[in-house]
Structure formats: structure tokens, C-alpha cells
Structure 1
Amino acid sequence: MSLPDFEGWAIFACVVEHRSFSGAAQAIGISKATVSKAITRLEQRLGTNLFHRTSRKLTLTESGAALAERAKRILGEAQCAEEEARQAAVAPSGTVRIAAPLTFGLSQVAPAIADFLAEYPQIHIDLKLSDATVDIVADGFDIALRIADLPDSSLRARRLAPVRIHTVAAPAYLDRHGRPSHPSELTDHRCFVYSNTSRPDLWQYYGPEGEEAGIRVEGPLIVDNGRAMLPALRRGLGIARLPDFIVDELLNDGSLEAVLTGWDTRPIALHMMTPPGTLRPARVTLLMDFLAERFRAREEAGR
């Protein structure tokens, strides 16, 4: 069996990245002649030219363009394997950039990060908290935590735990205005709206008999952070839909009361998003596994 020319493929990937033989040679630390010989050797092995060469310009042929992405993966896999081997011998280090929703980040992610840093002191965390959706690739994040019913995406998603949405109000508000038993009755109530959704004023419900109800709501408060609704809710000024990690304690101590408990909302969950591809530094994998275990344990404790 003849083994692939791994060196040739790696050098080809470097030439594509640097767009010249001399640039690739300088980046790798070898001579331009060695680069040229490796490309010629690979072309002869494949039976096709990979580049159009002129005195002023180097461009990929059609065959070269078709093979460039595979060459990049071959080089990336090898670099990742070497990095993992090196990092296995020493304490992982470097920076991991992570994005998370504001309230969930403060109450759940920040304590988890503190425990992680105590266990891996050589790793640094750059944590961004915002309810706005970040562009993981463009903004250079290694990990983003999202609470949503996720659409199709080129990003890689790992479901960590379900998140239950409750429709809640203060008992005093419900005593004055009545307790809705059907979603349609929400049109008679003052509803607080969370703005970071595609249709903030449309509340969708699913009944126990399979009935669906999409209700247009309105009220005196629109916010881009769920926790900002709590003061107005406690004062009995309206009804809101909020996730369990914001309202569970208030439901348990009686400050808030859940209504429409027989109706479900669209199922959502906590997801861990990463950029496309499977290659990532060991420090990122460590944090991903740590968070996955942390929130799996949270879900089991909730059950």
C-alpha cells in the first residue's frame, strides 16, 4: 500500500493560504525550492496541475481549487493532533472566548466559570454577557450558549438542558384581574413583552388536547432582558412569560403564581454552539465538557 504524500498536502495547503511559494516557505521555515519540489511531486502523483504559474501571479487551477479545502483539513487535523499531544503533557493554557445570555450568564454561567478557573488556573476566560445574538464566527467566539428553539445553522450545536417557560403574575394582580384559564383570555390582560424574539408580541401555546393558540399580546412594558420585568411583576402590574431560571424561586416562595399551567409553550433548551468544523484547542474542549456536565447535573437536580 502506498501512503499519501502528507508532507506534499500540508505544503500545498500552506501555499494556498499564503498565495505564493515564497510566502509558504517563509511561514514553514524551509526553502522556496523545497516548496516547489513538494508541489511538483504532488502534481505528478495526482496527474494534474494544482496551480497556474506565471512570473507575476500564482493561481489555483480548477483541480487545485477543488482539493484546497481537503488539504486544509489534512493540515488542520495534523496540527490539532500535535497540539493535543503537547497539551496532554502540560497544563492547558490560553484564552477561551464565550458568549452567554445576560441573566442566565450571571446566575448560572459565572459561578460555573469560577469553578472552572479554580480547576484550570492556566486557562483564561473572556466572557461576554448579552441577550443579543452574537455572530460566533465573525466575532471570534469559541463557544456561545443560547436558549432557544434553534433554526437550521452551519454552526455545531450541543443540547445541554431543557428550559421551561412559565406564564406568571403576582397573586395580587390575579386577584384583581382574574386568572386566565385559556390563552385567548390574555388579550384582556396587561402583558410584559420580551423583545429579543422574532415575534415578541405573539405568544404561542399548545393545549393538552393538541389545540394550538397564537395570541397577540400588548402591555405597558417591553424589555430586552427578562429579569427587568420582575419589579413590575412583583408590584402586580401585569403578566409575563419567563424561563424557569428567572422565576422558579419566586414561584416557590409565593411571590409569583403560574397560570395556564395546562398549556405548553414552544419547547426551548440551553444549547452550546461552536463554529463549524471539529478542530478546536484542548482548552476549548475542556470548558465545553465542563459546562456540559455542569448543566446536565443542574437538569437532574431539577427533576
Structure 2
Amino acid sequence: MDWDKLRIFHAVAEAGSFTHAGEVLNLSQSAVSRQISSLEESLNVALFHRHARGLILTEQGELLYRTAHEVFSKLAMAEAQLAESKDRPKGQLKVTATQAFGSSWLTPCLLEFIDLYPDVEVDLVLEDRELDLSMREADVAIRMAPPRQPELIQRHLMTVHLNIYAAPAYLKRHGIPKVPEDLDQHRIIVYGNDTRPPVEDMDWLLVAGTRKDKPRRPILKVNSVYAILRAVQSGLGLASLPEFMVSEGTSLVRVLPELQGPRIDAYFVYPEELRNSKRIQVFRDFLLRKVAEGRMQG
């Protein structure tokens, strides 16, 4: 089977159209279409149902796609292992984390890591959705829940608490809630349920201390934890925020300290194939040390 045609087929199956696959491969739409037709002729099967709205894999196409996906995944892993320096960590390290954790906790740590390991090229991808590590969308991930994908190694990194915070200006204007029921009279900012939040029960403030027949209505929904922080800082309302986002340098006030939100367990996750990667080993150990230092200072 022709590797070039198989690579093009895999890209088309991922993209769902000849045009989008051509953009990824830097080929014309007609060139991509010709290669797929040639592959179908050589195999004597149709791999796609062609529709006006795009392409759908046939049953035979699904079989070939699953096999090609696995092959290209293993090749990508092999490439990473071959590129690994035997003595000094070197090469690209693609890390994915949630927007909030990546921007508030992880990014400020990177100066020290890059000074320690200047030959490691850190590529930080901040996404609240889970990237596919098996397809090398990233080398490692920091996840706010145990990974669901098989064949991933996980190492517990830290436990994060969600607390309630407000700006002094907001509390001066609206008063300080004394008991959970007081939240009924306050402006509450939440993540909302239109998109999948980075952690479960992100909007627990809407039900804490309420009767089931009287749910609270938020003053604002915004699908970014960092944007929630900025809204709280502006005095718009109060919200549940991870404790790592509210450093000692901020002026935010914790309210109702006896009311704790869900605990979030953060995990350092990477594929089994990269178990022996020096880049991943030193990055994992560095993060564990930074977490331990934070605990000692706290």
C-alpha cells in the first residue's frame, strides 16, 4: 500500500473534506481527490461516501482509517523517541493544560525550567478541552480529572480547592454574606453549562445553601475561568475560583470560608510510549518540586 496515499487518506478522513485536507497537506483539492480515487482503485473498494456537505467514511473506509490512525500514532511516538537525546534533555516538549491553570500557575514557573533546560523547546497549548495525546496533539497534559484515554501514565500533581472570592469594592457596596443562604441576595458569576467546564461542579455556587425549588440565577455566565477572575476583580460579583488563581498579591477577599467547593485533583499525564523520555521526566520532576515548594511556603 502506497504510504503517501495512505497519509493523504488519513488526512482526508480527519478533515472530512478534500478541500480542508488539501489545506493541511499543502496540496490542491484536485490533487487530493485524485490520490484518494487512485487508492480506491488499487484497493477495489470505495472508502468514502461523497455528499454535497462533505465526505463520510464507508465501512471499509472506517476499517482502513482505524488501522492508519494507529500506525501513524505509533510512528509519531517512535519519531519522538528517536529524537530524544541520550545525555541531555533536548527537543520540543508540547504541554497542554486548562486555560486557568496554564496561565495562572504553570506559565510563571517556566522561566526557571527553561533556564535549567535551555535545549528543551516548550510549546504550551492552553485548552479546556482534552487534546488527544495518542495522536501527539501534545506530549504531556495537566488534567483536572483522571485521564479517560487508555494507555496513559498518570501522576497525581496536586489537590486544588475552589473557594468563594469577591473584590473589596463589591463587598463595600453589597455587604458580606454571613451564611450560605445570604448568597440569594448576591450577584454570582458562573461558568455556565453551554460548554463543558474544565472541572465538574464548576457552578456549585448556584445550589450551595439553596432550596431545590429556588435555584439562584447568575448575574453573568462566562466560559473562561480567567474571565471570571477578571469579572470578580472588577467588582461585578462574587464567584468560585481555584485557590491557585488568587495569589497573595491580589486584593480579592475570601468569603464564607466555611463553605468549600469541590476538590479538584490535578494529574500529570503522558503516553506509555514516552515513559523513557528525558524531557518528560525532568519536566514532571520539576513540577512536583514546584508543588512541594508551594506547600512548604504555605
Q: Tell me the TM-score normalized by structure 1.
A: 0.58
From 67, 89, 111, the counterpart of 1:92: 89
Instruction: Write the distance in 1 (CA, Å) between the matches of 2:268 and 2:166.
Output: 31
Shift of 1:83: 7.1
Q: 1:198–1:163: structure 2 CA closer, same or farther, 3 Å change rule?
A: closer
Q: Secondary structure at the match of 2:107?
A: helix
Deviation at 1:213, TM superposition (A): 8.9
Counterpart of 1:270, as a letter, is A
Query: How far apart, CA to CA, are the structure 1 residues paired with 2:157 and 2:135?
Result: 24
- The answer on whether the counterparts of 1:183 and 1:213 sit within 8 Å (CA) in structure 2 is no
State the 4+ residue runs in structure 1 displaced beyond 6 angstroms: 211-215
Alpha-carbon RMSD across the aligned residues, in angstroms, is 3.8
8 Å CA contact 2:147, 2:269 repeated in 1: no
Structure 2 counterpart of 1:238, which letter?
Answer: G
Name the structure 1 match of 2:205. Answer: 203
Q: 1:156 to 1:187 in 2, by over 3 A?
A: farther
2:280 alignment partner in structure 1: 284
Determine if contact 1:180/1:186 at 8 Å carries over to the other structure.
Answer: yes
Q: 1:157–1:170: structure 2 CA closer, same or farther, 3 Å change rule? A: same
- Sort the Cα spacing of 1:235 and 1:278 in 2 relative to 1 into closer, same or farther, 3 A: closer
What's the secondary structure of 2:164's corresponding residue?
strand
Q: Deviations over 1:81-136 (max 9, x none)?
A: x979x944x32322221112224323432233332222222222221123333233
Change (3 A) 1:222 1:297: same
Query: Corresponding residue for 2:256?
Result: 260
For residue 165 of structure 2, the aligned residue among 142, 165, 168 is 168
Q: Quick check: 1:157 aligned with 2:159?
A: no
Task: Give yes or no for the alignment of 1:295 onto 2:297.
Answer: no
Amino acid at match of 1:95: Q
Q: How does 1:1-303 map to 2 (within 5 A)?
A: 87-88=85-86, 90-146=87-143, 148-150=144-146, 154=150, 155-195=152-192, 196=197, 197-198=199-200, 200-203=202-205, 216-249=215-248, 255-276=251-272, 279-302=275-298
| Identical positions, percent | 31
Q: Which is higher, the Rg of structure 1 or of structure 2?
A: 1
Gaps of 5+ in 1: 1-78
Give CA-to-partner distance per residue, 1:167-203, whole Å, 9 cap, x none: 0112343344343333343233221012424555443
Q: What's the secondary structure of 2:226's corresponding residue?
A: helix
* Cα 1:200–1:160 shift into 2, 3 Å: closer
Q: TM-score, normalised by structure 2?
A: 0.59
- Give the equivalent residue in structure 1 for 2:12: none
SS at structure 1 position matched to 2:246: helix
Contact 1:173 1:238 in 2 (8 A): yes
Stretches of structure 2 that go unaligned for 5 or more consecutive residues are 1-77
What code does the residue aligned with 1:260 have?
A: L
Q: How many corresponding residue pairs? A: 217
